[in-house]
């Protein structure tokens, strides 16, 4: 298991306002207004990175809303809030959180 505070520091290089949020006895990373590419175009959304097994997936990246219509999305309540996530598997938790985030973003790039 990685040190959440160290991983958060690395994420703050991408999103200075990143915060740790408790989820299931572990930490998720909330990245408000996170900038990324959505189908090749600039976008910004609140995202929640869950860098551990959650809802049957190895790791998850949740978005405030469903971003595309061309893939399967699921709605979840995480950290007491409603989030959306595409069906995207195979992103393992044994890597730095920045790498986990980058791999999940491939699903919407």
Q: What is the pLDDT of residues 50-82, one digit of tens each?
A: 999 999 999 999 999 999 988 899 999 999 999
Across residues 4-22, what is the average pLDDT?
98
Whole domain around residue 93: which residue ranges? 4-105
pLDDT of the residue at 101: 98
* Dihedral, 87, 53, 64, 73 alpha carbons, nearest 10: 20
CA distance 28 to 77: 13
Q: Which of 88, 94, 39, 26 is nearest to 62 (CA)?
A: 88
Model-wide pTM > 0.85: yes
| Tens of pLDDT, residues 76-103 | 999 999 999 999 999 999 999 999 999 9
How many domains does the chain fold into?
1
């Amino acid at each position: 298991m990685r040190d959440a505070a160290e991983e958060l520091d690395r994420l703050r290089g991408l999103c200075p306002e990143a915060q740790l949020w408790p989820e299931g006895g572990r930490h998720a990373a909330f990245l408000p207004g996170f900038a990324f590419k959505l189908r090749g175009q600039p976008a910004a959304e609140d995202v929640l990175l869950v860098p551990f097994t959650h809802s049957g997936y190895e790791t998850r990246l949740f978005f405030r809303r469903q971003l595309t219509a061309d893939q399967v999305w699921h709605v979840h309540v995480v950290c007491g809030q409603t989030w959306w996530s595409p069906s995207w598997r195979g992103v393992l938790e044994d890597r730095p959180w920045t790498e986990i985030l980058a791999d999940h973003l491939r699903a919407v790039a």
